Amino acid sequence: MNPLSSIEAALLERAADAPMLSQVQDWAAINSGSRNLDGLAQMAAALADAFSVLPGDVTLIEAAPVETMRADGRVETIRHGQHLHLSVRPEAPVQILLTGHMDTVFAADHPFQAQRWIEPGVLNGPGVADMKGGIAVMLAALRAIEGTEAAQTLGYDVVINSDEEVGSPSSAGLLRTVAAGKVAAFTYEPALPDGTLAGARAGSGNFSIVVTGLSAHAGRNPDDGRNALLAAADLALRLKAGSGPGCSCNPVKIEGGGPNNVVPDHAVLRVNFRPRTRRMRRQRER
């Protein structure tokens, strides 16, 4: 690994002076679970205030409408929080994209809400690493760069979405649009266990499959029925068996059923697919 130049060392020193720890602790004290709209609104406002120290315009963008399937098979629209977008020097010759997310996996009623020091230098708390700490690092780095003359040749967009932990359904279009024309993109998720950065990630798609059977009495005429739960379980096994190096499948939940004396005629299978490449995704779509 090459040693840091004097310019790079000065940038790191300037970034290290930023109040990253206090920011992370303040932000982690706000519950911003992906479905906690009030908490996400509070978090978005806090981030908008923090990123206002940078040049450019900070905008809170309303989430695109997203459809979801209920356990009974009906489709409904689900709301998501606002997404933060900052654009700085869009006319500069070099354009990059920096991304992060403000939501966490811990809902407002989850028992994991408090922070604690595991040991000196190791803070444990909801969203501390994934990824309010990453957002603080991003902001510190950008503030350090803005103090250099080289910043005038660099333009960047920052997108911090509110729905990453649930698959980014309402922010995917925004991310696609903002990513166009960029020479590089960086996401401030935690590093790999050995400290290296991930250069790529598999895609992710969540699917709900409705299975319809035929109801019958479990004691009087069970063979006249068609058990939707069994069909969903069989489909889950076959989908999992089709997993491979290029595309993994993770069946996560089967919903349905009713009284013990009735052959169930309805089930919903929830599945996550992770294609490694676009080519593999297209093959799976066929």
Predicted confidence (pLDDT) per residue in 77-132, tens digit: 999 999 999 999 999 999 999 999 999 999 999 999 999 999 999 999 999 999 99
Select from 52, 167, 53, 190 the least CA-distant residue to 103.
167
CATH class in words for 205-285: alpha beta
Q: How confident is the model at residue 72 (pLDDT cuts 50, 70, 90)?
A: very high
pLDDT in tens, 204-233: 889 999 999 999 999 999 999 999 999 999
Q: Tell me the average pLDDT across 48-74.
A: 96
Please write the tens of the pLDDT for every residue from 163-195: 999 999 999 999 999 999 999 999 999 888 888
Burial of 167 (0-12, 13-18, 19+ CB in 10 A): middle
Rounded CA-CA distance 210/164 in Å is 25
pLDDT at 38: 98
- Whether 6 shows a pLDDT value over 90: the answer reads no
Residue 217 pairs with which residues in a beta bridge?
A: 262
Question: Which alpha helices (DSSP H) does the chain contain, by range?
Answer: 6-16, 20-28, 37-51, 133-146, 172-179, 228-241, 278-285
- Indicate if the pLDDT at residue 282 is higher than 90: no
pLDDT band at 236 (very low <50, low <70, confident <90, very high): very high
Confidence of residue 1 (pLDDT cuts 50, 70, 90): low
**Which two tokens mark 132?**
């309010």
Distance CA 203, CA 207 (A): 13
Residues above pLDDT 70, as percent of the chain: 97
**In 3-state terms, what secondary structure has residue 46?**
helix
Average pLDDT over residues 148-166: 95
pLDDT one-digit tens code per residue, 23-60: 999 999 999 999 999 999 999 999 999 999 999 999 99
Percent of the chain with pLDDT over 90: 83
CATH superfamily of 6-187: Zn peptidases (3.40.630.10)
pLDDT at 281: 54
User: Structural domain boundaries of the chain?
Assistant: 6-187, 205-285
* pLDDT (tens digit per residue) in 251-269: 999 999 999 999 999 999 9
Query: What pTM does this model have?
Result: 0.87
